[in-house]
Amino acid sequence: MSVIPTEIERLGNHGVRIAWEDGHESEYRNADLRFGCSCALCVNEVTGVRHLRREQIPPDIRPTAVELVGHYAIHITWSDGHATGIYSYELLRELCPCAVCSQARSQGGG
């Protein structure tokens, strides 16, 4: 599976779209992407237990900045002030909410 994006686009105030090198496209709702943050403030580095709860995410959350991090990730600054998470391309592909990716995850395929 290719985990290299060819395009990253903010979808107004509601989401982010990523087009991947293999032709796949992922559209993430802002709240889901914010919840997917895997930084040490959001997830315990040792136990993997998530500190961030969905109800803590404002319903109108949106990226205020999206920046490339090398050739492997993006950094998102969020409207709630959170700015410590780096979303690797692999993580973003794993978080893809589309039906095909969701089904593959439920079958243990990715």
Mean pLDDT over 49-53 rounds to: 96
- pTM given for the model: 0.88
Range of weakest confidence among 28-32, 88-92, 104-108: 104-108
Residue 10 is part of a domain; what is its CATH number?
Answer: 3.30.2020.30
Question: Are β-strands 73-78 and 25-29 bridged in parallel, bridged antiparallel, or unpaired?
Answer: unpaired
Helix H segments across 50-109? Answer: 89-94, 99-106
Task: Strands of the chain (E only): list them.
Answer: 5-11, 15-20, 25-29, 63-69, 73-78, 86-88
Find the domain containing 9 and state its range: 5-106
Pairwise CA distance, residues 30 & 62, whole Å? 6
Mean pLDDT over 10-37 rounds to: 95
- Total structural domains within the chain: 1
Q: How far is CA 6 from the centre of its chain?
A: 16
Pairwise CA distance, residues 39 & 83, whole Å? 10
**What pLDDT does 1 receive?**
52
Q: How do residues 55-100 score in pLDDT, each as one tens digit?
A: 999 999 999 999 999 999 999 999 999 999 899 999 999 999 999 9
- Decide: residue 108, CB within 10 A, 0-12 exposed, 13-18 middle, 19+ buried: exposed
